[in-house]
Amino acid sequence: MGHQFQLIDLKNFNYQIKNNQFSLPQLKNLDTDIIIVRGVFNSLKSISTIINHYRQQGTKVFDNHLLSHLYSIDKVTDMIKLSLNQIPTPNTSYSREYSDFPKLAEQLGYPLIVKSTRMGKGANVFKINSPTDLTKIIEDFKNKNYKPKSLLLQQFIPYIYDLRILCIGDETFTMRRIPAKNEFRANFSLGGSVELFDPQPETIKLAHQALKAVDMTIAGVDVLITQNNKQYILEVNHTAGFVGMEKATGKNIAKIWLEHAIKTAK
């Protein structure tokens, strides 16, 4: 594509200040026209401050609005945005107290889903079939010092199609996700299979409405379609993986992603 690039991993974030001069070892002597931010999961506020500094110095940045959101994964906030924009989602409950969970679960009805608000790729997503199951998992979370503010309770949707619609600007790519045997989660990263899918125009329109609601130009929108053709936005993934989509579509999704990032960086 005519560009040279340097991949910078800030997982182990550390910096120095000497004689009032700030330095970050990974960005030492950085000389670039464009910074493309794929996702930040640690030290987000600090790293965002540094990236904003480069932008103010005239370097173009593509961040998929991460610097304004200040999160890569926050399903609590995204569900609020979707709801306020009248996007159909599964009934959802949230509380920062475990003591509220039994009542909220009763209101949602069993089975239901308990999911992490800060993790992706199907991690920490559980199907709960009864109050007994809920009590057991709450005790397990407590033993692991897992905080209730990190969990959502959500209506279980019996679907016939689980779709991932990857929106990159105005382009869309769609695959059907099929769960592995004895698995209710359909994530490719969990061993699910994928196949190319041709969605109805209203499904594509709904995905773009969800993308607009969370204020991004690239996202993986998860859509559930039921037997009676009801459609629900399950969630909007800020850092959607490419491997499954490339397998389903046969396209170089990473290249398309980069073309969009370079074109729209500012």
Q: For a pLDDT cut of 90, what percent of the chain falls above it?
A: 69
Q: How far apart are CA 234 and CA 89, in angstroms?
A: 6
Task: Return mean pLDDT, the chain.
Answer: 91
The answer for residues whose C-beta is within 8 angstroms of residue 151's C-beta and 6 or more apart is 94, 114, 115, 116, 117, 141
Delineate the domains of the chain, giving CATH numbers in brackets.
16-69 (no CATH), 91-155 (3.30.1490.20), 161-264 (3.30.470.20)
- Please state the φ and ψ torsions of residue 45, each to the nearest 5 degrees: -65, -40
Look up residue 50 and give its two tokens.
């540094």
Lowest model confidence (mean pLDDT) among 74-83, 94-103, 143-152, 161-170:
143-152
Tell me: pLDDT of 84 over 90.
yes
Return d(Cα 257, Cα 157) in angstroms, integer: 31
Q: What is the pLDDT of residue 56?
A: 94
Q: Is the pLDDT of residue 189 over 70?
A: no
pLDDT band at 122; cut points 50, 70, 90 = low
State the first-to-last Cα distance of the chain, in angstroms, to the nearest integer: 19
Residues 133, 123: Cα–Cα separation, whole Å: 18
For residues 210 and 87, the answer to whether their CB atoms sit within 8 Å is yes
pLDDT digits (tens, 9 = 90+) for 13-65: 889 999 999 888 888 778 899 999 988 888 899 999 999 999 999 999 999 99
Residue 121: pLDDT above 70?
no
* 89 SS3 class: coil
Burial of 34 (0-12, 13-18, 19+ CB in 10 A): middle
Six-digit token string for 176: 């059907």
Read off the pLDDT band of 10 (50, 70, 90).
Answer: confident
Question: What pLDDT is stored for residue 146 in this prediction?
Answer: 86
Statement: the pTM of the whole predicted model exceeds 0.85: yes
Confidence category of residue 190, pLDDT binned at 50, 70, 90 = low
Q: Could you tell me if 98 and 144 are in contact, meaning their C-beta atoms sit under 8 angstroms apart? A: no
